Structure 1
Amino acid sequence: MLFRRFLFTPSKITNDILQLPTHELLQQLGYVKQASSGVLHWLPLGLKTLRNIEGIIRRRMDESGAHEVSLSSLSQRSLWETTGRWSNTELFKLKDAKKKDYCLVPTCEEEITWLMNSYLTSYKDLPIIAYQITRKYRDELRPRGGLLRGREFLMKDAYSFHLNSEDAVSTFERVNATYDKIFTDIGVPFVSAVADSGDIGGDLSKEYHFIHESGEDTLFRCNSCEAVSNIEKCGSYPVESKEYLGDVSVKYALNEENDTLVCLYYPASRHLNWNLALEAVDNDLEPQTRYMTNEEVLAKFTENYDPMFNGIIRVMDVRLNSRSNFPDFPLKSYLKNNFAQLNDYSIVDVEEGEICAQCEEGELESAKSIEVGHTFYLGKKYSKALNATFRQQDNSDVVMEMGCYGIGVSRLIGAIAQVTRDPKGLRWPSSVSPYKVSVCASDKSVDQLNKVKALLDYKPYTDFDAKTSIGAKIQQSHALGIPIAIVVGPKSWPNVEIEVRGNFRSKNWETSYEKLHSQLGWEYNQESGKHFVLHENANDVVNILLKDL
């Protein structure tokens, strides 16, 4: 018995469907179905696409020597309290029948560190990378964009463990090289950018993005040295320094010893960049003071304030000058000898058109983007908190160094759909498309359709409503994003028509066409972009074209 195959896809594609936002289009075309805000069910076409992306990631991760695991989605409270992350407001928290607290994991630094600490006992066991492709959970206050920001999502998360920082940084670079291969295999143009580590923590961080005007992130690229950074890590200089004459804002902070007040002065019209401020003072800022008000910082500083011993550092943004309108200094009692001033530092968020701080030559250009991957060198943030140690050759115990590396697998589907779609619908790269080819035939060409299907290396999509016309079938194939449609009709037989829906990444097929078109009976109409070939050679032409799609 054959079950109805086209249950989840519309029998007719309308302009109203094609004009929908991407997350609604994916639902209408039968890839996913939204159950509630931020929660989606995966349908057959969506699952095929998901598994193709998983396959690309798994192949490259296995090649790198990583070990695949699968951790529980439930994580006990005690681990998260140990690392200080139980108070995170985006954790889904629950209790079991014995009133024990758990969370649904949004990421697995705690659990993987606990797990690997059970097995990594000697320096001989390191380095090692473990990864998984599993569902994660985040209690998003405002889920949006369908697959781009949901409450449940599929993620590839990998974690590495190391003898020392040199080995950890080396693996960080090696995993980034693996990520370059993964995103190249996927076939959508991408950029990697120096990034802020955020709440995950660590000293090095890199993001992977698709450039698109709908993206929530902003990247900056230098038109000279071509360095790419996100706004949190991008340094810039004004075209003309010390030209700002307006009001000046100040952010007070403390050094890590809490014995020095750091005064960060910057134009009131700009936004302070904490990462750049950290660089200006050699990373010697108490992290908590970032989120404290100026009044709270001053109160903490003056608790044990002694003008003879406590220092004050003023950091001046490069845009300021002596004629800028500075606020009054709040302390009445201080020694001028304890004052230090750092000039010519840029400590505000970049603006387009400013000068790149890296090469000090090129201008910075901005672009909206969608983040799809992130890598981190963590240092000892989690291993130290969870006492993850190994024994060295001299029998002393040392805390492991760590890295973590994520790719939003389900997010990738939403992002690829968003950046590649056009007025005809989706437009998948052949590497991730649920089907590489469809066969569209009239109801009078069933025998010919079966002959073509039997010749193809790939199982084609043929799940069309039998009542629809051949034109409607072609339209549906194009809307679903299938890279190639083979059109079979009685008038052209024994030839078939091949319509290319995918986006060519290269034009190597043109060389093959010049060499083989006579042998294969292959004709190409440059005006329509359609290919015509003897049906027995259709598989050869399809394979040639797919290599470029």
Structure 2
Amino acid sequence: MLFRRFLFTPSKITNDILQIPTHELLQQLGYVKQASSGILHWLPLGLKTLRNVEGIIRRRMNESGAHEVSLSSLSQRSLWETTGRWSNTELFKLKDAKKKDYCLVPTCEEEITWLMKHYLTSHKDLPTIAYQITRKYRDELRPRGGLLRGREFLMKDAYSFHLNSDDAVSTFENMNATYDKIFSDIGVPFVSAVADSGDIGGDLSKEYHFIHESGEDTLYQCSSCKAVSNVEKCGSYPQESNQYLGDVSVKYALNQDNDTLVCLYYPANRQFSWNLALEALDNDIEPKTKEMTNEAVLSKFTEDYDPIFNGITRVMDVRLNSRSNFPDFPLKSYLKNNFAQLNDYSIVDAEEGEICASCEEGELESAKSIEVGHTFYLGKKYSQAMNATVRQQDNSDVVMEMGCYGIGVSRLVGAIAQVTRDEKGLKWPSSVSPYKVSLCANEKSLEQLEEVRTHLQLEPFTQFDAKATIGARIQQSHSLGIPIAIIVGPKSWPNVEMEVRADFKSNNWETDYKKLHTELKWEYNPESQKHFVHNTKVNDVANILLKDL
């Protein structure tokens, strides 16, 4: 049968369905089905969309020279203990019949390093990039947003190996260029931002985001230098320094030698930034003290405290002044000669309207966003721990430098749906849509519809309820997010009508229209924004339009 209702979609789509949250809408329209919190099953429409996204990523990764692999989802405990990450509370852990411990991988730095060190033996083998598109697992305490934050997800993770840091940074920059191509191919506006490396580690990090009010992340852009960074890496200065008169909070830390108490003072009504504190002290802070309470830091410092040999460094946020309400200092004895103070550093999260710390000229503008990709320069964090070395030209061994590059593929599907949808339903860009076009007609026009199909090389969506009216079929096509609905009816025959659902990324089609509309028997009505074309030319016109959608 030409028209037979798609098994997983509703026979009728109501306005109530079209107003529900995106993760519920994807279920109602037959893209995915949630089995339990954070766990979803992919249905045919969703799977076609997911594979289209995969295809874009895979093509660009292959162009970059990366090797595609597929690692096991099971990873043994010993590897994660080697890198100190077995204690991660978001790991799904399990035992086999012999009581040996494993985890379901959330990311594969350990496994890929173990694998590649068996094949990378000489400097001649470098640089090398390996990537995979596989399922990952994270024991999220509070999964939310459907595809945006789940316990099981599809991820593209790539890893690069290098002889030295210069080569690693070069590949980091090249991979960011590859990411620019990937997200440009997808066709949804995106921004890239300087970011924090988080638990992955490393010295350089960049995030890719879709700007949207529903996002959990906050980005800042400078009105002058246009630099974009996430809140964790954004430095800012107040419009006027040293004006804060309220209560002051303090975060205690130790330097890396553990012989100096670091006292970080900041306004109590602001959020302390560990990253900016690190910058202020040239990274000379003991990492373990980040998660320690002030009481625990003071206890550790005073275990062997000697006023003669131990120092104290106070760091003052630029917003404070001498009249601010400081807390009491915890130590009763210290030598002034061992006491240092650093003034006018910004050590709190930025806020909109403050001055950009990068150029010190423009003001910061904020926007909510959804993160869809992340790149890292790792340095030797994993290769050092796992003794991943290669032989240099002088026959000495050196630990390899590494980078890693991730895209949440299933998350990306959810994010695209979220940022492009409107009151009529989903609105996929043509690059990822499960179908590029639909064929809509009533039962009286089946013969004409079959003739259109003979001219159409694109696979059309026709799985409508046999009892549905042509209007209901058009509505369903639009709600599913199919970029173009081709409408066949007796009034316009032998011409067919084309309604464009997707957003235009450019207007290049207008140039083609001016040149080819006579040859292609193509008419455009700017008032209704509908296209009319002879049925024998429908494939040509559809392809012209799809290039811009």
Q: If the TM-score is normalised by the length of the shorter chain, which range does it land in?
A: over 0.9
- Counterpart residue identity of residue 337, structure 2: N
In structure 2, the residue matched to 1:163 is 163
Structure 1 residue 474 and structure 2 residue 469: aligned? no
Equivalence map 1:142-181=2 (5 Å): 142-181=142-181
Q: What code does the residue aligned with 2:315 have?
A: V
- Structure 2 distance, partners of 1:3, 1:124, is 59
What CA distance in whole angstroms lies between the structure 1 residues aligned with 2:433 and 2:475?
16
Look up the equivalent residue of 1:39 and give its one-letter code: I
Which whole-Å CA distance do the structure 1 matches of 2:324 and 2:5 have between them?
A: 71
CA distance in 2, matches of 1:387, 1:65: 25
Letter paired with 1:444: K
Distance 1:237 1:8 in 2: 54
Aligned match of 1:91: 91
Q: Spell out the pairing of 1:294-305 with structure 2 (5 A cutoff).
A: 294-305=294-305
- Superposition deviation, residue 442 in structure 1: 1.1
> Which residue matches 1:529?
529
| Whole-angstrom distance in 2 between the partners of 1:5 and 1:13 | 13
> Quick one: distance in 2 between partners of 1:17 and 1:81?
48
Where 1:520 maps in the other structure, the secondary structure is coil
Q: What's the CA shift for 1:455?
A: 1.1
Partner of 2:339: 339
Q: Which structure 2 residues correspond to residues 509-528 of structure 1 after superposition, within 5 A?
A: 509-528=509-528
Number of the residue aligned with 1:401: 401
Distance 2:325 2:35 in 1: 55
- Aligned equivalents of 2:142, 2:250: Cα separation in 1: 32
d(CA) in 1 for partners of 2:222, 2:100: 52
- Looking at structure 2, the residues matched to 382 and 4 of structure 1 have their Cα atoms a distance apart, in angstroms, of 54
**d(CA) in 2 for partners of 1:264, 1:487:** 67
**Which is worse superposed, 273-282 or 522-531?**
522-531
- 1:10 positional shift: 1.4
Equivalent-residue separation in structure 2 for 1:343 and 1:275 (angstroms): 17
Q: Which amino acid in the other structure matches residue 156 of structure 1?
A: K
Q: Which amino acid aligns with 1:426?
A: L
Instruction: Please tell me whether residue 250 in structure 1 is matched to residue 266 in structure 2.
Output: no
Rounded to whole Å, the distance in 1 between the matches of 2:466 and 2:512 is 35
- 1:41 matched residue in structure 2: 41
The reply to whether residue 113 of structure 1 matches residue 113 of structure 2 is yes
Deviations 1:106-147 (A, max 9, x none): 000010000001111111111100000000001111110000
Separation in structure 2 between the aligned mates of residue 154 and residue 90 of structure 1, nearest angstrom = 17
**Matching residue of 2:6:** 6
Q: Paired residue for 1:197?
A: 197
Alignment root-mean-square deviation, CA = 1.1
Matched, 1:437 2:437: yes
Cα distance, 1:322 vs. partner? 1.1
CA displacement at 1:457 relative to structure 2: 2.4
Equivalent pairs: percent with the same residue? 85
Question: In the alignment, what sits opposite 2:541?
Answer: 541
Q: CA deviation at 1:456?
A: 1.5
- Sort the Cα spacing of 1:3 and 1:544 in 2 relative to 1 into closer, same or farther, 3 A: closer
1:259 corresponds to which residue?
259
Q: 1:307 to 1:330 in 2, by over 3 A?
A: same
Checking the alignment, whether the CA contact within 8 Å between 2:5 and 2:11 is kept in structure 1 is no
Give the SS at the match of 1:316: strand
Amino acid at match of 1:327: P
Match of 1:421 in 2: 421
Alignment check: 8 A CA contact 2:4 2:464 kept: no
Cα deviation digits, residues 459-515 of structure 1 (max 9, x gap): 111111111111111000000000001000122110100000010000111111112
Instruction: Please give the per-residue CA displacement for 1:51-80, whole angstroms capped at 9, x wherever unaligned.
Output: 100000000000000000000000000111
Q: Tell me the alpha carbon deviations over residues 432-471 of structure 1, each in whole angstroms, 9 at most, x when there is no partner.
A: 0000011111111112111111212211111111111111
Displacement of 1:255 in angstroms is: 0.6
- Letter paired with 2:449: L
Query: Match of 1:49, SS?
Result: helix
Give the whole-Å Cα distance in 1 for the aligned partners of 2:2 and 2:39: 31
Distance 1:31 1:367 in 2: 29
Residue 233 (1) aligns with residue 233 (2): yes
Give the equivalent residue in structure 2 for 1:74: 74
SS at match of 1:426: coil
Matched AA of 2:252: Y
Worse overlay, 424-433 or 525-534: 525-534
Matched residue type, 2:490: P
TM-score norm. by structure 2 comes to 0.99
Number of matched pairs? 549
Q: CA deviation digits over 1:137-162, x for unaligned, max 9?
A: 01111110000000100000000011
- The 2-side partners of 1:533 and 1:85 are apart by 61
| TM-superposed deviation, 1:3 | 11
Q: Measure how far apart 1:519 and its partner are.
A: 2.2
Aligned to 1:390: 390
Residue identity in the other structure for 2:138: R
Residue 290 of structure 1 aligns with an amino acid whose one-letter code is K
Moved more, 67-76 or 305-314: 305-314
Distance (Å, rounded) in 1 between the aligned partners of 2:178 and 2:243: 45
What corresponds to 1:25 in structure 2? Answer: 25
8 Å CA contact 2:2–2:463 kept in 1: the answer is: no
Q: How far off is 1:5 after superposition?
A: 6.0
Shift, 1:4, TM fit:
5.8
Q: Residue 444 of structure 1: SS of its match in structure 2? A: helix
Q: Which amino acid aligns with 2:129?
A: I
Name stretches of at least 5 consecutive residues in structure 2 with no aligned partner: none
Change (3 A) 1:91 1:2: farther
2:65 maps to a residue whose letter is: G
- AA aligned to 1:215 is G
Separation of aligned partners in 1, 2:521 and 2:56: 34
Shift of 1:336: 0.4
Partner of 2:348: 348
- Which secondary structure state, in structure 2, belongs to the residue aligned with residue 382 of structure 1? helix
Write the distance in 1 (CA, Å) between the matches of 2:109 and 2:93. Answer: 17
